[in-house]
Structure 1
């Protein structure tokens, strides 16, 4: 089974970290553009993809709770940018990668 993790940056000018884990091998990549990120994920066809970014523009109860511990509010423009980028990449990956562990 192949796993992918994306530590998404809010803007393409900043580095996004991507990790691909297959068997006991780990590939780590520093990427910028959405196309680079999506291309790397599609290339490896992971069964599971994790994206470290908000997937909503609305604060959830847990977000409000986590602010006590340093989490940033979705009212901050950079966090809104991160959420929008994360949701966009998620939508594209859902169309291009079959993430069903049972199929692989």
Structure 2
């Protein structure tokens, strides 16, 4: 039997400002190692060190149609992937909403840096993935989220992990499922990676 190298995924729960904490999770197979980062350099360092198969980021990484920049007032408010989330009854904030503009700008810039390093970067939405998996979002029940991720098979979780770190774990797990063929890209190649809606699946 061939021994296949486990997938390495770096999940990022990005903050709009480097003054606020960003959760980072390196998922080796199903074992999670997390930390808090602030600067882009602190986010990029573990990516450089671990050479991941994919980097899912919890931040908008594309703009709505006919918008050249996030500050462009013309064009649409929703992307194709946002409309897919709407159809599935998943709550989200549009990228054109005030606080989301800074996050979108940082996310797109960070994606460019990671892809320059040679790693595939995709957008994900931990809150939406948690809805699909039937586990709580961090703002509703952080302990329930911790337990839910543990039940999904993630190892290495500690009770001291912050909500940002648990969302980064979620992002990494979504990336793993996608690599295993248990995920889908909503809205085309520039869309959002989501887990397949099969809540009985394990990692």
What TM-score, normalized by structure 1, do the two folds share? Answer: 0.81
Measured on the aligned residues, the alpha-carbon RMSD in Å equals: 2.1
Once the 2 structures are TM-superposed, how far is the Cα of residue 21 of structure 1 from its aligned partner? 1.0
Which is higher, the Rg of structure 1 or of structure 2? 2
**Residue 75 of structure 1 pairs with residue 81 of structure 2:** no
- Report which of the two has the higher share of strand: 1
Give the aligned partner of residue 34 of structure 2.
Answer: 28
Gaps of 5+ in 2: 1-6, 65-77, 121-178, 180-203
CA separation of 1:65 and 1:88: change in aligned 2, threshold 3 A = same
Once the 2 structures are TM-superposed, how far is the Cα of residue 63 of structure 1 from its aligned partner? 2.3
Gaps of 5+ in 1: none
* Paired residues of 1:17 and 1:28 also in contact (CA < 8 A): yes
Deviates more, 1:19-28 or 1:29-38: 19-28
Q: Which aligned segments of 4 or more residues in structure 1 are displaced greater than 6 angstroms?
A: none
Once the 2 structures are TM-superposed, how far is the Cα of residue 43 of structure 1 from its aligned partner? 1.3
* Paired residues of 1:20 and 1:28 also in contact (CA < 8 A): yes
Give the aligned partner of residue 48 of structure 1.
Answer: 54
- Report which of the two has the higher share of helix: 1
What TM-score, normalized by structure 2, do the two folds share? Answer: 0.44
